[in-house]
Structure 1
Amino acid sequence: MITFPVPTRPAHEQGLFRVSPHTPTTVYGRIALDNRNRNQHYVPKYYFRCFSLDEKSIQLMLRKTGKVVPKPASIDKQSSDWWFYGDAATEDAMSAFDGPYSENHQFIVSALDGGRPAAITAEHRLVLLRNMLLQRRRTLAEREAERGVHTFVRDALAPQLTAPGIDESGCPPEAAEALRTMFAIMTKKLDDPRPFQMTKIAAAQDDANALADLTMVFLENDTPRPFIFGDAPVVYANAALCDREMSLLNESSLGLQVFFPLSPRWAVMLYDPETYDVQTEGNGLLVMLTDETDVSELNKLQIHEAHQSIYFHDAANATYVASLWASAAPGEKRGKTVERLPQLTPGGRYLRDVNAIVDPEPSFHPTLGFVSLRDFSGSRMPYRAAHWIGTGDDTPPSLNAFVDRKPWRNA
């Protein structure tokens, strides 16, 4: 397992990494920033090359307008920003992940292209699973989705800066001042989302276990339409519970589906076997897609979940991709919120109201002909059985009766 420090401030300020004296630097005040790798990618370049005809450029459509850029875009400038991760040392740490992930990705695609799915071992699938969760967490879309949470926490901390209760608590004046300083530092830290995102990225390797109970299959696109991808290419869906008033896209959610294009021809899908049946072939690893509608539904999901950009491999598909955007009609992206919600015991007894982070409701639910719903009336909503932590032989409780259906779905 590859690990790296999670900086609360840029690594060069902490002394965690040394900047070579031979590396060109730009000086901002008293801080020397290492200029290596300052253009930092949140979708790695190796991934773009899997969809590129020349390994240098990619076709681009803007999510906001649906406009297809006439000329191919340089891979070097896509899904990246200067100092996206904060400094060159942290970018180097991310590259330490991308090396083995790139090698694993290329091996899997090569094995699939060569008709050797049996060569894809459990270890290959585990590395891919970790890659998917890290990719999900490293994007600009993920960072922007957290802004509402940061705003909530900052607004909650702000009154503490002038709260009279600190002075009236009986603590010495220097202790009261220290508390105010601490709250001021915490509030300021919330202005920079990078350390918080890096904390989630660093945990992705272990947190991938949360998806290990899902079944992994590879989708072969045997249609004239290619798989496309957005600047947030690992997308979550939940067709089973799209009519329920509950969190649908938690990594422990019943009915979770995860999609990740691997090339114009191949994609990987994770699904909850408790709620879906999937039409597989051979050893159960492959799904052959012969219906263009299925491919287009998956491509529309990429358009909806993208933050700024959608990519495709060949200019010959420009009209098709533009028509997908018109059909998908993606709206403005919504972020996470903090809401006051009831806390229940596993048996459904009300305890109290608590502040809870709520994911935005999906804006698109793909309808896929190769997937059918199972009878999950005896399931343990809202979580998959693997995520109930009990004692001994306790039967996981069912909260089905507490999960409401959306009124507009009842007809």
Structure 2
Amino acid sequence: MVEYKNQHYVPRFYLRNFSDDGQKIWLYNMQANREFTEPISRVCARDYFYSDETDVEKEIGSIESALSKGLGELLAIQSVSKFQTEKELKPDWLRVLQFLTFQEARTALSKEEIEQDGEVMFETFVRAGIEAGELDPELLEEVREGNVWLEHEQSPQLLPMLYQLHCAPLLADLWGTLLVNKTGTELVTSDHPVVRHNPYFLGEGHPQEIGLQSRGLQIYCPLTSHHYLLLHDPECYEIECSSEGVREIHDTAVINELNKLQIVNCDNNVFYGTEGRQEEMDCLWEQLGELADTNRDDRGTVRTEGGIGVYTKISAPRFCPELPFVEKESNIEYQRERVEGALEEQEEFWEEQFGDFV
């Protein structure tokens, strides 16, 4: 067996936080509406998912190891305030933010999006070549039928993953709350666990409503069966929590809201540690109704007048969890940047560090 060929897009150290024995995990599949159990080594993993060069998987493993330390410290101390300050971005908190941005970019759903973006861009280049008289018009039909495509030596996902990793400081002004589950219902996670949301400006048509620097941004991510991390824009929301940045949850209805968000945002599967939750998952799915994305093939797709499919960025879920401890502030205007100049500074950093590589 080739070492490092089985490549995970949700890390095993993270999935073990939702497993009863650290070896296997239960999953509910959205297409089959069925509950299964699988070894953690086999879920959210495919042979050569990122590259057939196994050194790539080794490097990703090294990144995972560093980021897991940040999550481990947060869970051990169970205090956000000891990690996060307004004056500086502490290393452990940076690792937590990097876990969120890196994990979002590495899933199968993100890979599908990036590949769809590449297909649309390739077709656009072919169209331009035909209009310039440099390419045969019949080539466009060959591209559309899948007979001609753009070949990559390794996954085009790797560059966005690296970019997202280095974009983590853009989240430094968001405030974190650790939600501690004190109910008898476990939190679930999924194959696309990091959720960007913007309940404050959702549906107002802003092109960057869930950009990393967008005003009103929230980020949700379950960390274990009993811990959940919520980041929020403090200008738009006020969260009732302790001075340590911790909020205990004693109401099962709140846990159900957070679990429904994972169901809505997942690609195909949600995961948990205890057998026998199929009826519960069925019920949550039914409660979501039309807010659930039942037609997975059209996710993020926009059709133009010419019938061209344009695959956009993964959008904010239409479902907004009802959390009684979160209050919206009044009369906040939308801004693409919460911190003036943050995006330009990030782009300059990227160009300086990786311009030659790109």
Task: Please confirm whether the aligned pair reaches a TM-score higher than 0.5, indicating the same fold.
Answer: yes
- Over 3 Å counting, the alpha-carbon distance change for 1:54 and 1:290 in structure 2 is same
Aligned mate of 1:386, from 331, 339, 353: 339
Distance 1:119 1:262 in 2: 18
Alignment length (residue pairs): 318
Moved more, 209-218 or 74-83: 209-218
Aligned residue in 2 for 1:231: 191
How far off is 1:373 after superposition? 0.5
Residues 256-288 of structure 1: CA distance to partner in whole angstroms, max 9, x if unpaired?
Answer: 1101111111011110111101111133x1112
How far off is 1:161 after superposition? 5.4
Report if the CA contact (8 A) 1:337-1:359 is conserved.
no
Q: 2:44 corresponds to which letter in structure 1? A: S
Report if the CA contact (8 A) 2:27-2:269 is conserved.
yes
Aligned residue in 1 for 2:17: 50
Where does structure 2 lack aligned partners over 5 or more consecutive residues?
85-89, 136-146, 305-309, 345-358
- Over 3 Å counting, the alpha-carbon distance change for 1:358 and 1:91 in structure 2 is closer
Aligned positions of 1:56-71 closer than 5 A: 56-69=23-36
Q: 2:327 corresponds to which letter in structure 1? A: S
Identity among equivalent positions (%) equals 22
TM-score by length of 1: 0.70
Q: Output the aligned Cα RMSD.
A: 2.9
Q: Secondary structure at the match of 1:50?
A: helix
Distance 1:316 1:74 in 2: 17
Where does structure 1 lack aligned partners over 5 or more consecutive residues?
1-23, 25-34, 168-186, 341-354, 392-411
1:73 maps to 2:38? yes
Report if the CA contact (8 A) 1:249-1:359 is conserved.
no
Residues 356-395 of structure 1: CA distance to partner in whole angstroms, max 9, x if unpaired?
Answer: 9555352322221111100133x3x24243145799xxxx
Look at both structures and tell me which one has the larger radius of gyration over its CA atoms: 1
Q: 2:99 corresponds to which letter in structure 1? A: N
Report if the CA contact (8 A) 2:113-2:311 is conserved.
no
How far off is 1:37 after superposition? 1.2
Aligned mate of 1:100, from 29, 49, 66: 66
Distance 2:72 2:239 in 1: 25
How far off is 1:66 after superposition? 2.4
How far off is 1:124 after superposition? 1.8
Q: Secondary structure at the match of 2:98?
A: helix
Distance 2:343 2:76 in 1: 42
Distance 1:226 1:166 in 2: 59
Aligned residue in 1 for 2:141: none
Report if the CA contact (8 A) 2:196-2:218 is conserved.
yes
Aligned mate of 2:75, from 109, 121, 125: 109
Aligned residue in 1 for 2:108: 140
Aligned mate of 2:239, from 278, 289, 292: 278
1:254 maps to 2:221? no
Report if the CA contact (8 A) 1:109-1:263 is conserved.
no
Residues 102-138 of structure 1: CA distance to partner in whole angstroms, max 9, x if unpaired?
Answer: 23322322322xxx66664633221111111000000
Aligned mate of 1:265, from 216, 226, 230: 226
How far off is 1:166 after superposition? 4.5
Q: 2:325 corresponds to which letter in structure 1? A: F
Report if the CA contact (8 A) 1:303-1:328 is conserved.
no
Aligned residue in 2 for 1:307: 267
Aligned positions of 1:157-196 closer than 5 A: 157-159=125-127, 165-166=133-134, 190=150, 192=152, 195-196=155-156
Q: Secondary structure at the match of 2:7?
A: strand
- Over 3 Å counting, the alpha-carbon distance change for 1:233 and 1:389 in structure 2 is closer
- Over 3 Å counting, the alpha-carbon distance change for 1:77 and 1:279 in structure 2 is same
Aligned residue in 1 for 2:251: 291
